[in-house]
Amino acid sequence: MATAPNVGMVPFVGAPAAQAEAPALLRLAGWRRPALRVLSIGLFFAAWHVATTWDVDFYVRFQNIPTPAEVLEEAVALFGSAAFYVHILASLERIWLGFAIATTLGVGMGLLIGWFRFAEDTLFPPIELFRPIPAVAWVPLSIMLWPTERSSIVFITTLGAFFPIVLNTIHGVEGIDRQLVRAATSLGAGRLAIFREVVIPGALPSIVTGLSVGMGVSWLCLISAEMISGQFGIGYFTWVAYGIVKYSQIVVGMLVIGVLGMLSSALIRLVGARCMPWLPRRVRDAT
């Protein structure tokens, strides 16, 4: 196919930017900075070790706190026993269920509330009413409402994740550039196509932020609910360890919660980045 008139001579301004060669100083920093980070974590463990082996008592009391070595030993023992996995799996199942329900409801309602005035008038007021109540405050009522311990804890977990997800979705829809909607209509898009092609992808970065925050909150709610009312789960395990004076188990429980929380957040970020290849890397990492 022939080139259109005048087109052949046109220089392509601003083609996808070439990767600039990093200056020497930055390249050096390339390995120095990770090294510093590892060192920082090492120092934390060293301080923990010193404080607990010397039984430091300086207003904060370390006599009953297990040493890192004791915790490691306990962790090895626990991960060797099937009983420990039952707790972890119970928590993971609750998080997964609660988060999945919250995502479905939160994103679905958020898209409707953000885009349709009727949905905003009918669905949004109850959300505003219940939002200020922390999910943990629902625990007593939840125990009465739901037939099983599992369902009441999933309810709390769902509740915790729901609000940040729905609010961020609404925010994302409301932030959509109206010019893009106009552009779509002038290209022949109907109402449904606008919703699918403009509203959903336009709100997606904000939705992923909501999911990320929601995941953090749902862990918070899960652990609190398990500590208060559970019979299984990693939160229950950690609380019971305190009751039966197994102090090393408390710390193992805490660390497991931390690692699981971190992994689930990383999973959200990974899926988010996969769904939004159009965003520059640093923006995707920030969500």
Partner 1 sequence: MRGGDLTNGATGRIEITDLGMVFGRNSRTVEAVRRFTLMTTPGEFVALLGPSGCGKTTVLNAVAGFVIPTVGRIVVDGEIITQPGADRGMVFQQHSLFPWKTVLGNVEFGLKMRGVGKKERKSQAHAYLSLVGLTGFEHAYPRELSGGMQQRVGIARALVNRPRVLLMDEPFGALDAQTRLTMQELLLGVWREVRTTVLFVTHDIDEALFLADRVAVMTGRPGQIRDLVEVKFTRPRAAEIIATPAFMVLKARVLAQVREESARTLSGPRP
State the DSSP H helix or E strand holding residue 60, giving kind and residue range, or none if neither. Answer: strand 60-61
Give, as ranges, the residues between 243 and 282 that touch partner 1 (CB under 8 A): 276-278, 280
* H-only helix segments in the chain: 24-53, 68-79, 82-115, 117-130, 139-145, 149-174, 178-186, 191-194, 200-229, 234-243, 247-275, 281-286
Q: How far apart are CA 30 and CA 117, in angstroms?
A: 51
Q: Is 8 in the site for partner 1 (CB under 8 A)?
A: yes
Q: What DSSP string describes 146-190?
A: SSSHHHHHHHHHHHHHHHHHHHHHHHHHHTS-HHHHHHHHHTT--
Cβ 207 to partner 1, closest distance in Å?
A: 13
Q: How far apart are CA 154 and CA 98, in angstroms?
A: 5
Could you say which of 56, 72, 189, 228 contacts partner 1 (CB under 8 A)? 189
Out of 90, 135, 204, 213, name the contact with partner 1 by CB under 8 A: 204
Q: Which residues contact 221 (CB under 8 A, 6 or more apart)?
A: 98, 135, 136, 156, 157, 159, 160, 161
Shortest Å, Cβ 276 to partner 1? 7
Nearer to partner 1 (CB atom), residue 73 or residue 197: 197
The interface region with partner 1, picked from 146-154, 185-193, 224-232, 249-257 by CB under 8 A, is 185-193
Structure tokens at 179: 């010019």
Least distance to partner 1, CB of residue 6, Å: 4
How many residues in the shown chain lie near partner 1 by CB under 8 A? 37
| Residue of 22, 36, 46, 193 interacting with partner 1 (CB under 8 A) | 193
- Contact predicate 107/165, CB 8 Å: yes
Q: Nearer Cβ to partner 1, position 5 or 132?
A: 5
Binding mask 144-183 for partner 1 (x = CB under 8 A): ---------------------------------x-xx-xx
**Cα(101)–Cα(93) distance, integer angstroms:** 12
Task: In angstroms, give the least distance from the CB of 46 to partner 1.
Answer: 46
Considering beta carbons, is residue 117 or 178 the nearer one to partner 1? 178
- Cβ closest to partner 1, residue 5 vs residue 80: 5
Q: Give the residue with the Cβ less far from partner 1, 2 or 24.
A: 2
DSSP H or E run through 57: strand 57-58
Which residue reads 């100083």 in tokens?
25
**Residues forming the site for partner 1 (CB under 8 A):** 1-8, 10, 12-17, 177, 179-180, 182-190, 193, 197-198, 201-202, 204, 276-278, 280
